[in-house]
């Protein structure tokens, strides 16, 4: 091989080596595209974030249902035993908002007269502490039932015991009526049904 040919071969080899080095360097220095591997991805979708459980909300409709265990017959001009039981049951969980509220229970005779009949005895309240319930006799025939709050996670029952009913000699004979009204605050939705008769006035023996 002549010296000229040898030099040409060496030059060709050097050019190829330089080109290869440029290609390798370019592959190393160029920025890599983001990884498509699921494990290397950062998920920012809001749909995958934990969602807090919603707090119970006030249910539409009546706040409670009312029922009564009556005293039976009341002789005209007399008084029954203290066996009257008034019960008020929340219609569903969170039907009563956790806030203060009140309503009235008004007793009348069969003719709708409230001056001839009244409650006797001392009202006793049975209710969960969360209600903060109390009962006040604001007139001889009217009870004011009040609460301070409610448990949003449980159905609650309020009962009133320890009462009897008296009837004057002028009270109309027949079934008494107990009307619920004056609903306010957290009890503004009212009652699901009216009380059945709490007693019946009959002629004196």
Nearest to 105 by CA among 50, 145, 69, 149: 145
**How confident is the prediction along the chain (205 residues), in pLDDT tens digits per residue?**
555 555 554 455 454 554 454 444 455 444 454 444 444 444 444 445 555 555 445 456 899 999 999 999 999 999 999 999 999 999 999 999 999 999 999 999 999 999 999 999 999 999 999 999 999 999 999 999 999 999 999 999 999 999 999 999 999 999 999 999 999 999 999 997 776 899 999 999 8
The pLDDT value recorded for residue 121 is: 97
Q: What is the pLDDT of residue 118?
A: 98
What is the pLDDT, as a whole number, of residue 46? 47
Residue by residue, what is the 3-state secondary structure of 39-98?
HHCCCCCHHHCCCCCCCCCCCCCCCEEEEEECCCEEECCCECCCCEEEEEEECCCCCCCC
Instruction: State the pLDDT at residue 12.
Output: 58
CB 95 within 8 A of CB 122: no
Supply the pLDDT for residue 50.
54
- Supply the pLDDT for residue 194: 72
């Amino acid at each position: 091989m002549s010296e000229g040919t040898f030099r040409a071969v060496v030059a060709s080899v050097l050019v190829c080596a330089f080109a290869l080095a440029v290609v390798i360097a370019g592959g190393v220095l160029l920025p890599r595209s983001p990884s498509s591997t699921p494990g290397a991805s950062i998920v920012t979708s809001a749909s995958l974030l934990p969602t807090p459980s919603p707090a119970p909300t006030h249910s539409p409709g009546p706040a409670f249902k009312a029922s009564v265990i009556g005293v039976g017959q009341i002789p005209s001009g007399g008084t029954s035993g203290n066996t009257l039981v008034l019960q008020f049951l929340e219609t569903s969980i969170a039907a009563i908002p956790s806030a203060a509220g009140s309503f009235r229970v008004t007793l009348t005779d069969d003719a709708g007269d409230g001056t001839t009949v009244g409650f006797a005895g001392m009202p006793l309240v049975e209710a969960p502490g969360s209600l903060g319930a109390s009962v006040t006799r604001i007139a001889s025939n009217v009870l004011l039932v009040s609460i301070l709050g409610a448990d949003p996670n449980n159905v609650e029952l309020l009962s009133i015991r320890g009462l009897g009913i008296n009837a004057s000699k002028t009270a109309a004979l027949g079934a008494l009526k107990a009307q619920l009204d004056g609903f306010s605050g957290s009890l503004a939705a009212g009652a699901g049904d009216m009380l059945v008769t709490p007693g019946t006035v009959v002629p004196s023996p």
